[in-house]
Amino acid sequence: MTAHDKFSLEEKLRSVIETVDVANALIEPLTRSIENLLYISAGQMNSEEASVLIRDGSHGDLRFISAIGKVAHQLIDITVPAGKGVAGFVFSSGQPMVIADAGEEDSFYAEVDKQTGYSTQTLLATPLRHKGEVIGVLEYVNRIGDPPYESFTADEMDEAAVFAEAISSLVNAYESAKLFHDFTDQMLTADETTDFADVRKWLDELRSTSEHKEILDLAILVRELASRGEEERKMCRKVLESILEFADGKANTNYLSY
């Protein structure tokens, strides 16, 4: 490999790692945004608990990635086997479902309640879709207040679908960022018999540079601005495009001056 080829490969790797680390840096803000939408929507639905499950692996299992309520911290990363429970039905069928009395519903998967100590009585579940594909399930459980709880209504099912549309875009971004994160972990924690020592050293040096940290700070800043609203996103885009045009013009000017 020539020195030029090695430099070219290093530049490509640098670009990939910067992209990966930006994705990793966005996982926490994305999770926080999903949780915020759960709080807002649960209040609107008069629901005590709300959660998001996404596909986990290639077999159709579902995993809780975000939840609010009394047992929220216990739900995170609990897995529902493929085809099990209301969430499994909604995920596989793509159809929303309301359960008025979980104790009387054969399809209800009681194992989650056993693990958390919670008592699910009434439930509304609706699919999360991205580009026509079901990528997860949004659930609302029980009502605020004391039992017996009123069942969720058809109007609330429609309302939940609107919230699901907003949450699904965040879930898709979360899945993409998590994919990058997991890929990086697998590469860097490879068996020691594989010669990755030089790669790990190079990555450590790259990630410790001030330039790399500034790239991550800028990515998070852009994400924060974009989350403020449509007008802010438009303004952010115009400013960034103007900076790129300025940089391209400056580069051309420098080139022509030689």
CATH number for 145: 3.30.450.40
The Cα-based distances of 111 to 34, 49, 75, 189, 225 in angstroms read 25, 17, 11, 33, 41
Considering the domain boundaries, does residue 34 fall inside one? no
Given a contact cutoff of 8 angstroms between Cβ atoms, the answer to whether 159 and 50 are in contact is no
Instruction: Say yes or no: 48 and 147 in one domain.
Output: yes
Considering the domain boundaries, does residue 35 fall inside one? no
Strand partners of residue 54:
63, 136
* Cα-Cα end-to-end distance for the chain: 31
Instruction: Say yes or no: 167 and 187 in one domain.
Output: no
Instruction: Say yes or no: 140 and 228 in one domain.
Output: no
Considering the domain boundaries, does residue 31 fall inside one? no
Instruction: Look at the chain and report how many structural domains it folds into.
Output: 2
Q: Note down the domain range covering 250.
A: 3-26+181-256
**pLDDT confidence of residue 209:** 60
From 172, 198, 214, give the residue that closes a domain: 172
Given a contact cutoff of 8 angstroms between Cβ atoms, the answer to whether 140 and 45 are in contact is yes
Given a contact cutoff of 8 angstroms between Cβ atoms, the answer to whether 159 and 139 are in contact is no
Considering the domain boundaries, does residue 113 fall inside one? yes
Instruction: Say yes or no: 81 and 128 in one domain.
Output: yes
Instruction: Say yes or no: 113 and 160 in one domain.
Output: yes
Nearest by Cα to 136 from 60, 74, 85: 60
From 172, 206, 223, give the residue that closes a domain: 172
Instruction: Say yes or no: 164 and 68 in one domain.
Output: yes
From 108, 138, 172, give the residue that closes a domain: 172
Given a contact cutoff of 8 angstroms between Cβ atoms, the answer to whether 62 and 89 are in contact is no
Instruction: Say yes or no: 159 and 187 in one domain.
Output: no
Instruction: Say yes or no: 105 and 205 in one domain.
Output: no
**pLDDT confidence of residue 31:** 86
Going residue by residue through the chain (258 aa), what tens digit of pLDDT does each one get? 555 454 465 665 566 556 556 556 667 778 888 999 999 999 999 999 999 999 887 788 999 999 999 999 999 999 999 999 999 999 999 999 999 999 899 889 999 999 999 999 999 999 999 889 999 999 999 999 999 999 999 999 999 999 999 999 889 888 877 766 565 555 555 554 444 455 455 556 555 666 556 655 666 666 666 667 778 778 877 887 787 777 777 555 554 454
Instruction: Say yes or no: 151 and 71 in one domain.
Output: yes
Considering the domain boundaries, does residue 220 fall inside one? yes
Structure tokens at 30: 């994305």
Instruction: Say yes or no: 97 and 154 in one domain.
Output: yes
Considering the domain boundaries, does residue 94 fall inside one? yes
Instruction: Say yes or no: 98 and 22 in one domain.
Output: no
Considering the domain boundaries, does residue 33 fall inside one? no
Considering the domain boundaries, does residue 37 fall inside one? no
Instruction: Say yes or no: 217 and 142 in one domain.
Output: no
